[in-house]
Amino acid sequence: MKHYLSIDIGGTTIKYALFDPELTTVASGKFPTNHNENNHILTTVSQISQQFHDQVSLAGIGISTAGIVAADGSIQYAGPTIPGYTGTPLKQTLTAITGGPVSVANDVVAALRGEALAGAARNYQDIYYVALGTGIGGAHLRNQTLITGAHGLANSLGYTLTGNAPTNYETTAATLALEHQLAPLGIDVITAFNQAKEEPNSPTATVIHEWAAAVAQGLANIIYLIDPEVIIIGGAVAQQGAFLENLLADALTAIIPPTLNKTHLAISSLANKAQLIGAIAPLLN
């Protein structure tokens, strides 16, 4: 039986999963990135790939990664998040190891593909994915085609301006922004959500609602500019499920007339498995 190896490379952790053709997880694990000291990331993903290449028949390898991915499957830009990662030849290296197909995609794009293949967006053709985390990422899939713009800059959602420049969407609506807003109350994000559910009139709930309003502003811009069938909300905060969905839906209703907004809002159903499934989606298709 053919298997697919998926590897998700983040700022602190490298996760992997081996899938069968039915997307059942056969094996999984994770390793630290070790701040990419001595090219640790490439060394680790090479070892993982070699191990499974020796053990099973691989139909291909899918990589989900932080950073901007170049056309040749290398890391075009990663910034300071992962030191020394820019220029890493992921596709070239893993192709040399296995001799099979290798697909490399940005982690937000991979998450979108995962939700489209097996998650909350599987019944839609025009899908926008919003990753809410320490930053904010966007990705757009229409009729199985990624919409990336003439120069690959499209969907740089976190950098879009809100209010007076240089204030941007990330500074007002990322979960890091929510953490800063909650700091005076002395509680973390998860505790704040739990308290907001139990005490809807508490100061904590007020902060959560104000943050949701900031998130909704960016979602409204997506709706007005793109008018997708569905917007999927992903990232760790998506674990808040229906509570978050209702919170954002109410905030959207306050700024877009319900008769005008036809875009469905949904929360990621695959959670942190979305990137792993999405990374191998191009190989399955």
Averaged pLDDT, 217-234: 97
Q: What is the pLDDT of residue 145?
A: 96
Q: What is the pLDDT of residue 165?
A: 75
Q: What is the pLDDT of residue 202?
A: 96
Task: Give 259's contacts (C-beta < 8 A, 6+ positions apart).
Answer: none
Strands 13-19 and 25-32: antiparallel
CA 77 to chain centre: 17
**pLDDT tens digits along 199-210:** 999 999 999 999
Q: Which tokens belong to 106?
A: 């940005």
Cα–Cα distances in angstroms (integers) from residue 200 to residues 28, 186, 195, in the given order: 39, 18, 8
Q: What is the SS3 string spanning the chain?
A: CEEEEEEEECCCEEEEEEECCCCCEEEEEEEECHHHHHHHHHHHHHHHHHHHHHHCEEEEEEEEECCEECCCCCEEECHHHCCCCCCCCHHHHHHHHHCCCEEEEEHHHHHHHHHHHHCCCCCCCEEEEEEECCCEEEEEEECCEECCCCCCCCCCHHHCECCCCCCEHHHHHCHHHHHHHHHHHCCCHHHHHHHHHHCCCCHHHHHHHHHHHHHHHHHHHHHHHHCCCEEEEECHHHHHHHHHHHHHHHHHHCCCCCCCCCCEEEECCCHHHHHHHHHHHHHHC
Q: What is the pLDDT of residue 164?
A: 77
Spatial separation of the C-alpha atoms in residues 3 and 226, rounded to whole Å: 37
Reported pTM: 0.94
Decide if 267 contacts 215 (C-beta within 8 A): no
Range among 100-104, 134-138, 258-262 with highest mean pLDDT value: 100-104
**pLDDT tens digits along 25-75:** 999 999 999 999 999 999 999 999 999 999 999 999 999 999 999 999 999
